[in-house]
Amino acid sequence: MAQRVSVNDGAAGSKRTSRVRVAVRLRPYLDKQDEKGEGPCVRGLGPQKLEIINWRNATETLQYQFDVFHGEQTTQQEVFLTSVKPILPHILNGQNASVFAYGPTGAGKTHTMLGSQEQPGIIPRAVKEVFKLVDVQEKEQDGWEYSVGMSYLEIYNEKVLDLLSPGSQDLPIREDKDRNILIPGLTRTPLLSFTDFDTHFIPASLNRTTASTKINQRSSRSHAILLIKVVKSQRGPPHRQQTGKLYLVDLAGSEDNRRTGNQGIRLKESGAINLSLFTLSKVVDALNAGAGGRVPYRDSKLTRLLQDSLGGSAHSVMITNIAPEYRYYFDTFSALNFAAKSKQIVNRPFVRETVLAPTIGKQCSFMFFFFLFSFLFVNNRVCNDDNFIPSLLAPLKRAREEQEAGGSGEPQNKKSKEGKKAERSSSPPVHPHSSPDSSVLDRLLALEKMMMGSAERERLNLLKTVAQSRKEIQMLKEKQKELEDKANMLNKQNETVEKESKDALLFKTNLPPLHRKQSTAAKPRKQQAVVTPLQVSQVQPLQQCAVVCKPSQFLDKKKKRIQIEVCEGKENGGVDRPPADDVNWESHLDSALLEQSRKTILQTLNSGSLKDLKSLQLIGDKKAKLIMGWREIHGDFTQV
């Protein structure tokens, strides 16, 4: 069974809590990245301090303090010795450790974790150090043996992919009863030495998704996680087993798509990367807030896998990579703020230990019964005799009764006589040569208790469970009966209510149903509209308003046109309504009057104000403004 042992009980710790250690590494200044020649915006003030220019006021600076600050001249060896090596011994004692690189794209995270052949990064150095520690421990501790294995995966577009088997699909993330994060189906490769690791890790690293952007020629498009698992097993009983894990995480950098020029697939990849990093920031904020609130580990697969590293049970180190150029200013500023929040997170490491319970195998039990029955046959006893075992155990029982009688204060002779009488009346006589050894009797008595007591106990437990289940079934039947009675009562009440309502409806609906009557009266004729003639700015004499009217033969029969009649000799120029007959009329204006009206309208359109344009028929405020705008752009109108 698995047990949790506090860090105080382990061999490599003295604290129950472990704060996340934060180291900041500054990339060397590149002239190619600084197009304007503005110089660096960040500089170190010591082994733990640095400052950055305040973007609100260029004359001021903002200072930060972390556990370690690695300047531009820091080597890979110095980064490993000061930040990573101190947490590696915890792995061999059943605890977890985690190292992950964070920062914007192009700041040097992959170089810090992987490095090159001339300058290896943290991953190869850490694995080599683990094998060195294992060799030292095997020499010092003879009763323990160690096994090392590796797994390698990437999170690409929120999909967990196995880098050791490139053809695998999206893998699920699970959690066991001990709240350990598991990935079913993930390949685990056993390692015997560092050369084995090198042969498996280099081809798997080539399977990681990378692409080129405007800022970084080889930009990581996924988060890569390397898992090193060390199992420490005890050779002898009680066969203890301790399991430690080392997580080495190379995070993809946050990207500004305006500067990287991402499009299509690159844009989708950057969206997934920024979303997972934003969820990581929310997790850090929730952990710092405390108060038992919800921590959104499940909002992203990255935070789900880093659950043990942030606020979990691991010794964690975060290496924040930043760039000194001004074009990375806001990325560097946000990365430093994130690092400052992360160093406040507290983890609670413990030793993961498993103890194997001792079990009696089938072969051992078979040999035990074989020797038992051979002993019985050697003593010429008949195995199928029902009184054999009671007669064999009678002397031992008699001796225990005598001891009990002696301890209770009664005379031993009386007790012994009563015991002899009861024995003679209850048990048959025992052969004189059948007095077995006391040790054998003890073993037989223990065997009888082991064989009979377990079955009797199981039978009693079974009877109890059966009786309890019967009681529960009876109670459920009674509740069901009560519910059925209530349902029948409600049905009867509903039936009576429905009958009463039907009777009331029958009483009310004896009268014939009401229908809407169709109106027989003639519909009033709609009033026909009267259209006034075109208005002009000057009043024309009445004699020029002569209208020649003639019947129209081309009008639609369904639509009744408007009859306009302007009579000569009327001073008011009024319009009379047409007679109410079926004859349709069509109006025709005088050509001279029409031409004069067109000129007047054209003059108004070309030189009239907004008020003059609105005085025209069918011209509102919006159309008048459109006419004035068109007139300013294209000039005067030529015709109406």
Separation of first and last alpha carbons in the chain: 99
Q: What DSSP string runs through 531-586?
A: PPPPP-SSPPPGGGG----EE-SSS-SSS-PPP----TT-TT---PPPPSSS--EE
From the CB of residue 103, how many other CB atoms can be counted at a distance below 10 Å?
A: 29
Q: What DSSP string runs through 486-541?
A: HHHHHHHHHHHHHHHHHHHHHHHTTSPPP-PPPP-SPPPPPPPP-PPPPP-SSPPP
Residue 108 counted as an annotated binding residue: yes
Residue 110 counted as an annotated binding residue: yes
**Residue 106, C-beta contacts closer than 8 angstroms, at least 6 positions apart:** 33, 215, 216, 219, 253, 323, 328
Per DSSP, what are the bridge partners of residue 242? 232, 353
**Residue 7, C-beta contacts closer than 8 angstroms, at least 6 positions apart:** 13, 14, 15, 16, 18, 95, 349, 350, 351
| Strands 585-586, 550-551: pairing kind | antiparallel
The tokens describing 441, both together, are: 């009797």
Instruction: Judge contact between 199 and 222, C-beta under 8 A.
Output: no
Instruction: Judge contact between 283 and 317, C-beta under 8 A.
Output: no
Residue 105 counted as an annotated binding residue: yes
Q: How many CA atoms lie within 13 A of 633 on its CB side?
A: 6
Residue 106 counted as an annotated binding residue: yes
Cα–Cα distance measured from residue 498 to residue 500, given in angstroms and rounded to the nearest whole number? 5
- Report which of 271, 368, 352, 265 is spatially closest to residue 313, judged by C-alpha positions: 352
The tokens describing 503, both together, are: 């009777």
Residue 13 counted as an annotated binding residue: no
Residue 361 counted as an annotated binding residue: no
Residue 253 counted as an annotated binding residue: no
Which three-class secondary structure state does DSSP give residue 266?
Answer: helix
| Strands 144-156, 223-234: pairing kind | antiparallel
- Report which of 257, 182, 258 is spatially closest to residue 227, judged by C-alpha positions: 182
Annotated binding-site residue numbers: 103-110
Annotated binding-site residue numbers for ATP: 103-110
